[in-house]
Amino acid sequence: MSDVYRLAFLDGLRPEADLTVSQWADQYRMLSSKASAEPGPWRTNRTPYLQEPMDALSSNSPIQRVVLMFAAQTGKTEAGSNWLGYVIAHAPGPMLCVQPTVEMAKRLSKQRLESMITETPVLSEKIAPSRSRDSGNTMFSKEFPGGMMLLTGANSATGLRSTPCRYIFCDEVDAFPLDVDGEGDPVSLAEKRATTFARRKILLTSTPTVKDFSRIESEYNRSDQRRFYVPCPACGVMQWLKWSQLKWQNNDASTAKYQCESCREQFSEINKPVMLRKGEWRATAPSDGKTAGFQLSGLYSPLGWLSWSDMVDEFLRAKGDAPMLKSYVNTRLAETWEEDYASKVDAAGLLERCEHYEPAVLPEEALALTVGVDVQGGGGSAGDRLAFSVWAWGRDEEGWLVAHQEIYGDPCRPEVWKQLDEVVLREWPHAAGGKLRPDVVAIDSGGHATAEVYQYARERGRQGVVAIKGSSQRGKPPIGKASKVDLNSSGKSLKRGATVYPVGGDTIKTTLFGRLKHNELGPGFLHFHMDTTGEYFEQLTAEKQALRFVKGFPVREWVKKPSARNEALDCLVYAYAALNLMYQRYDRRTIWDQLERRLEQPTAPLRSKKAAAAGPAFVNNW
Ligand SMILES: [Zn+2]
């Protein structure tokens, strides 16, 4: 057979289309000793479940989009490589391969692709070694007769905007960014390259991530949702393998057996090869005739790769630790992880957690003091005022609410700022003796009285007062680099300009709500004193995370309950941002030691990261 096709190539004829990807791989594909645990000729019968997905990528299949939501160590990467080889050798055309990053595309090219080409003769015949000049073979582009393969990263809009391509391969799509260089979804950008081809093929693969935020899951849910059904060795009933059916005794992973859903017989994985060979993909949802979706867990991994005992062992080690368990669910079970993003911290629960400590005296463990100030004005329902919270911080960000108060009055008038002075300049007695003044006071400049906030921050810069502006964008640091502003919000130019720090409100809220949820004393725990009111906790818990769809993609967002007040939360967010500003200025590794020394030796100044650049704002606060 092979000679027939080779002759057809030599004749310049279009090859016959009836060879499938799995047939091509069985005939020609060599697994390299460098990149494979089982080097030598490829055998599809080792992983029978790969045949149908691979064959859907063959020229003679009507399927245009193939979606693989597969566990790690099931061979999905090799299935993709076989398709690449098939395209180069048998069905040439322009192809775009997208990895999550350009760096990963480079690795794919250098490690997997190069060795596959070198070790598979029908491929090395068609692609010149990359060493020779003008070979058409570079890191990011491989030329071959009748086609070309371009490699890029989903983080490069330029790479995705390349020439039209008949074949698109997006690998590990759950690791793709939501938006690339402001040009939108990288998968859609890549797929646009193929729209002009009637016989296009698109392959999307990934292990899934978080439920409702997983690209591969949403693609799979829109497909015919195929599952791999295998027969029970005892009763023969066809079923797809589920983690809940795997049984073991007394935390002993070596006893792992699978329990048939029908006859309840338990069998060991020695039966796997026969079960896999007799297995078949069955659609569990209606098909559009063009999209085929496949889901496969590590339970199907062939004998000698990942055993059921390995999986139980890994599970037992991961089950107490959320990040490890998430990774297990994603990479081993090929299922999405359900995060309780919607769960809300409860005001009544927090009220019960209040402790007996004297709010006017800083607790013994307190090493730093920060203040967050929220500015309300413009005739809002609750009236013009400043709301502020004073927070004390100890090692590992254990926090104590010291005070939450309001200063009534129009923030556009100087009186309220005079009253705030009493907070900024106040010395709080410390349980260990001595006194502490606020290290950083962060005031929101994004709401009302922007010019007044700027002016106050300038005047009180030496006392640690800074102007901040909240950002609801995800993934921003708690506090960013300061920028100079010359105009106020209404476009009036400012006399001397102002320095404003961006605050990653979304990031901070996610961090703090995680901490409010856990009830164990120690690192990150937030303490509230007995005088804290129910109204304070209502405000603190006025927001929750919700799902919103942007360009069809779900994003998590903090939303406020309608008409609820949330100043207590804002004040905590700003006070926490203020603490993070101290990390910018002092060495984060030693800051707590330094702060501890400051308590013992009130005259010793803190060592700043850049002593000169830090400016006079952080003179000793005693
Ligand atoms: Zn059975």
DSSP SS3 for 233: coil
Q: Is 577 exposed, middle or buried (0-12, 13-18, 19+ CB in 10 A)?
A: buried
- C-beta separation of 292 from 302 below 8 A: no
pLDDT at residue number 133: 62
How much distance in Å is there from the Cα of 44 to the middle of ligand 1?
27
pTM exceeds 0.75 for this model: no
* Distance from the alpha carbon of residue 235 to the mean position of ligand 1, in angstroms: 4
With cut-offs at 50, 70 and 90, classify the pLDDT of residue 434: confident
Residue 202 has pLDDT above 50, yes or no: yes
Average pLDDT over residues 430-454: 91
CA–centroid distance, residue 223 to ligand 1 (Å): 29
Ligand 1 center from residue 568 Cα (angstroms): 59
Higher pLDDT, 242 or 587: 242
What is the C-alpha to C-alpha distance for residues 512 and 372, in angstroms, rounded to an integer? 14
**CA 265 / ligand 1 centre spacing (Å):** 6
What's the 238 CA to ligand 1 centre distance in angstroms?
A: 8
What is the average pLDDT across 450-465?
A: 92
Among the residue ranges 39-48, 72-81, 106-115, 482-491, the one predicted with the least confidence is 482-491
- Does 618 have pLDDT greater than 50? no
Q: Specify the range with the lowest mean pLDDT, choosing from 195-204, 398-407, 436-445, 494-503.
A: 494-503
CB of 410 within 8 A of CB of 377? yes
Tokens of 455: 């002016």
Distance (Å) from CA 258 to ligand 1 centroid = 10
How far is ligand 1, taken at its centre, from the CA of residue 280, in Å? Answer: 17
Note the pLDDT tens digit of each residue in 369-378: 999 999 987 6
pLDDT of the residue at 389 = 97
* Among candidate residues 323, 320, 272, 274, the one with its CA nearest the CA of residue 299: 272
Distance 248 CA to ligand 1 centre (A): 18
Cα separation, 99 vs 551, whole angstroms: 22
Reported as a single tens digit per residue, the pLDDT across 290-349 is 999 999 999 999 998 999 999 999 999 888 777 788 889 999 999 998 766 545 678 888
Look at residue 568 and tell me whether its pLDDT is greater than 80.
yes
Contacts of residue 464, Cβ cutoff 8 Å, sequence gap at least 6: 424, 438, 439, 440, 441, 617, 618, 621
Total count of residues recorded for the chain: 622
Model confidence pLDDT, tens digit, residues 6-18: 444 444 445 556 8
Strand order in the sheet with 526-527: 483-487, 493-504, 465-471, 440-444, 368-376, 385-393, 399-408, 526-527
301 alpha carbon to ligand 1 midpoint, in Å? 20
Q: Tell me the CA–centroid distance for residue 279 and ligand 1, in Å.
A: 14
CA of 234 to the centre of ligand 1 (A): 5
Average pLDDT over residues 475-488: 83
pLDDT at residue 167 is higher than 50: yes
CA angle 478, 520, 581 (to 5 degrees): 20
Helix, strand or coil for residue 99? Answer: strand
- Spacing, Cα 312 to ligand 1 middle (Å): 21
Pair type for strands 440-444 and 368-376: parallel
75: CA distance to ligand 1 center in Å? Answer: 27
Q: What is the mean pLDDT of residues 161-185?
A: 89
Contacts 24+ apart (CB under 8 A), 521-524: 521/398, 522/396, 522/398, 523/395, 523/396, 523/397, 523/398, 524/396, 524/397, 524/398
Tell how far the Cα of 263 is from the centroid of ligand 1, in angstroms. 4
Residue 464 has pLDDT above 90, yes or no: yes
pLDDT score at 211: 79
Q: Which of 192-196, 448-452, 533-537, 604-608 has the lowest mean pLDDT?
A: 604-608
Long-range contacts of 234-241 (CB under 8 A, 24+ apart): 234/260, 234/263, 234/265, 234/267, 235/260, 235/262, 235/263, 235/265, 237/261, 237/262, 237/263, 238/280, 238/282, 240/282, 241/297, 241/299, 241/300
Judged against a pLDDT cut of 50, whether residue 171 lies above it is answered with: yes
Name the more confident of 530 and 558: 530
Q: Highest mean pLDDT: which of 15-29, 122-136, 351-365, 400-414?
A: 400-414
**Contact (CB, 8 A) for 85 and 29:** yes
What is the structure's pLDDT at 352? Answer: 87
> Is 34's pLDDT higher than 80?
no
* pLDDT confidence of residue 622: 28
Please tell me the distance from the alpha carbon of residue 150 to that of residue 193, in angstroms, as a whole number: 12
Provide the pLDDT for residue 378. Answer: 64
34-38, 87-91, 379-383: range with highest mean pLDDT: 87-91
**Any idea which of 234-238, 254-258, 278-282, 339-343 has the lowest mean pLDDT?**
339-343
Give the pLDDT confidence score for residue 268 in this predicted structure. Answer: 96
Q: Is the pLDDT of residue 139 over 50?
A: yes
Q: In angstroms, what is the span from residue 269 Cα to ligand 1's centroid?
A: 14
- Pairing of the two strands 167-171 and 252-259: unpaired
Whole-number Å distance, alpha carbon 259 to ligand 1 midpoint, is 8
Instruction: Say how many Å lie between the CA of residue 261 and the centre of ligand 1.
Output: 7
pLDDT at position 344 is 63
Distance CA 82, CA 160 (A): 23
Give the Å distance between the CA of 296 and the centre of ligand 1: 20
CA distance 31 to 25: 10
Centre of ligand 1 to C-alpha 267, Å, is 9
